[in-house]
Structures are given as C-alpha cells and as structure tokens.
Amino acid sequence: MERFENILFDLDGTISDSYEGITKSVVYALQKMGIAPPRDRNDLRVFIGPPLRESFARYYALDRTQTERAVMLYRENYNAGGMLDCKPYDGIIDSIKLLHKSGKRIILATSKPENAAVKIIEHFGLTDHFYFIAGATSDSSRVEKADVIEYALASTNIDRARSVMVGDRLHDINGAKATGLKSIGVLYGYGNERELVDAGADYLAKTPTDIVRISIGR
C-alpha cells in the first residue's frame, strides 16, 4: 500500500453532504427563468460535483447567455444562505483531523467558488486543518477540476508523486489523472462504484476511515 504525504479533497460529496443547499438553489434558478424544476428534487443530484455551468447547459439545453443567467440566479440564492445548508458526512471530520495530526498536508480542491469553499470549511471548524484551499474562480477562468488541482499544486509546490486526490465523481478522478496524481474514489458520495471504476480510480473508499487507511499506507 502506498503512503501519501499530501491529501487533496473534493468538497461536495466527499466532505460535505450539500444536497439541500445545492438542489434548492438550482430550483430557485430554474423557477426564476420560467423553467419547471423536476417534481422529484433527487433528480437534481447530478448538479452536485460537476462545474455549475456544465450542468445547466447539459441538463437544460441552455445557451451561453441563459447558462450565465442561471448561474447568477443560483448564486443569488446560494450566497444568501444556501451554502451553509449542508452537513459533513459521518466520520469525515474525525478522519481529516487524524490525517492532519499524523502530519499529512490536507488541501481542498473543489469546483465550488473559492470564497464559498472557505466559508464552508470554516463552518465545519476545519480551517486550521487545511494547508491550502483551492476553488474555482467566479468567472469561467478556473472551473474544471484539473485546473483547480493544478492551481493547488502550483500554489503549494508539493510533490505530485506523494499526493492523492480524494473525490466522489468522475471529474475528480479525471482531474487527478490529468495532473499526474493518484486518486481515491469515495463510495458514500454522489457518484457510484461503476462511475469511479470506469474513470480509473486507483483506490475506492467505502467510508472516511478507508481514506485514512489508504493515505497512511496501512
């Protein structure tokens, strides 16, 4: 089992169960645009993880102008309180604290806007446990997961060979591969085993405890 010194974490679906805040904000944006949201809000789980612009364009066939308006409306609701309508997954806070205590550098690499990511990590009481927080820009200059990871790596100057990306969706696994990192796909988030295996995850974690076990090489 490999031993990693730098652990990069995705946020939504990996640290934070953000279903309520994200799906309510998507519904708000759709309704403001005169688009009927799905009757079952679970259908909007596909918005959790991927870049927001990508999801609005893909699932509602919006053109560029419409997509930008949808993102603006989403953030209007999300920034008004939706971002904190979330909760950490059972065991993830203890696992992050244990990794930090064992000397690992904990880095956040999320497609969520960086200012929102900082507030959520602070809300969970984890700020002091993170070596660096990397998120997306509010425009479209840094939104893809590979770009966020590359930004985190360049900002921290850490060894890629001793680093691993932890996430719940294929975007996390693809981003890790594109930047030369190993990856851990978590099975408790919004992806599934088939998605993560097909994307080429190097390891699978059923629980946050498994992330610790894999990261410290046990």
Which candidate in 10, 12, 147, 172 is catalytic? 10
Instruction: Round to whole Å and give the CA distance between 40 and 117.
Output: 27
| In the chain, domain spans | 6-17+87-216, 19-84
Mark whether 10 is an active-site residue. Answer: yes
pLDDT-based confidence at residue 218 (cuts at 50, 70, 90): low
Q: What is the pLDDT of residue 1?
A: 57
**What is the maximal distance between C-alpha atoms in the chain?**
53
Q: Given a cut of 80, is residue 118 above it in pLDDT?
A: yes
DSSP codes, 139-169: SSSS-SHHHHHHHHHHHHT--GGGEEEEESS
pTM comes to 0.90
Residue 42: predicted pLDDT:
92
User: 48: closest CA among 23, 72, 78, 69?
Assistant: 23
Is 112 in contact with 11 (CB distance < 8 Å)? yes
Domains 6-17+87-216 and 19-84 share a fold: no
The CATH code of domain 6-17+87-216 reads 3.40.50.1000
What is the pLDDT confidence band of residue 66, given thresholds at 50, 70 and 90?
A: very high
The average pLDDT across 72-95 equals 95
pLDDT at 87: 96
For residues 86-114, give the mean pLDDT: 96
**For position 141, what pLDDT does the model report?**
82
Q: Chain-wide mean pLDDT for the chain?
A: 95
Average pLDDT over residues 14-42: 96
- Rounded to whole angstroms, how far apart are CA atoms 19 and 180? 30
CA distances in angstroms from 124 to 85, 93, 149, listed in the order given: 12, 8, 22
CATH class held by domain 19-84: mainly alpha
- How confident is the model at residue 140, as a pLDDT? 74
Give pLDDT, residue 93.
98
User: CA torsion sign, 143 to 145 to 147 to 148?
Assistant: positive
What pLDDT, on the 0 to 100 scale, is given for residue 50? 83
Give 121's Cβ-side CA count (13 Å radius): 28
Average pLDDT on 19-27 reads 96
